[in-house]
Amino acid sequence: MRRIITAVLALASLAAHADEADRARARWAQSKQGPMLERILPPTFEAAQLPQPRSKGARLVQRYCVQCHNLPNPAMHDAERWPSVVERMVLRMRGKGNLGLLMAELMAGVEAPTEDEHRALLAYLGKHAQRSLNPKKYPEAYQPAGEAFRLACSQCHVLPDPKRYSAALWPRVVARMQENMEWMNRVVGTQPVPGEPQFRIEDINAFLAKYAKRTGRDAAR
């Protein structure tokens, strides 16, 4: 019975996210700024991949964040960075921010979280934020063997701790990040381009595998 209830709750959460995302896309389609909003984050992260997807924090991410862009991965920032990001996003949801009347126009029909929800969002994102690499523990990250990893990953976020995932799981995570980078027009290094560094995926995976978590199971997110 518990499994059935859990499955029903999970489906309900996914359905709610789908409804909110559909409403957002409908609003984007009617706005001349819609294409800009749709390009803010890549559409590669799904609600089912959220950590603790039935928690209050996950539900709030699905309710509020998808109003303005695709679903964010809590690991896209570290815990130190999330508070300033969330504060900026909440101001924008309230029609304020750095674009004046344009911001108010962009946020027409968007709901902002209450103060309690704001705190719950911060707690959730901080709990599941990216764990940054400790340079003292991984000096090789700043040597030639770690160069591809360091240059590729630092384009979008802090360098992740290799022990976040197992050696078996890292290639899947790296593949998803490569897709994100291509979507965001970041340097991927899959094709020779004069003046751009060449990121060999094999080198990135080799570095991560060397220091990856050795036991237990991971869930990619």
Q: Above 70 in pLDDT, residue 33?
A: no
CA atoms of 16 and 109, how far apart (whole Å): 17
Residue 123 or residue 108, greater confidence:
123
Q: Above 80 in pLDDT, residue 39?
A: no
- Check: CB of residue 52 under 8 Å from CB of residue 60: no
Question: Chain-centre distance of CA 124, in angstroms?
Answer: 13
Q: What percent of the chain has pLDDT over 90?
A: 49
The pTM of this model reads 0.75
pLDDT confidence band for 99 (50 / 70 / 90): low
State the pLDDT at residue 47: 92
State the pLDDT at residue 183: 79
CA atoms of 16 and 203, how far apart (whole Å): 40
Segment 93-97 shows an average pLDDT of 80
- Please tell me the least confidently modeled range out of 69-73, 103-107, 125-129: 103-107
Structure tokens at 8: 């029903």
- Check: CB of residue 145 under 8 Å from CB of residue 218: no
Residue 43 or residue 135, greater confidence:
135
State the pLDDT at residue 141: 96
Residue whose C-alpha is closest to residue 71's, from 180, 149, 217, 210: 180
Residue 93 or residue 58, greater confidence:
58
Segment 157-177 shows an average pLDDT of 94
Write phi, then psi, for 174 (nearest 5 degrees): -60, -40
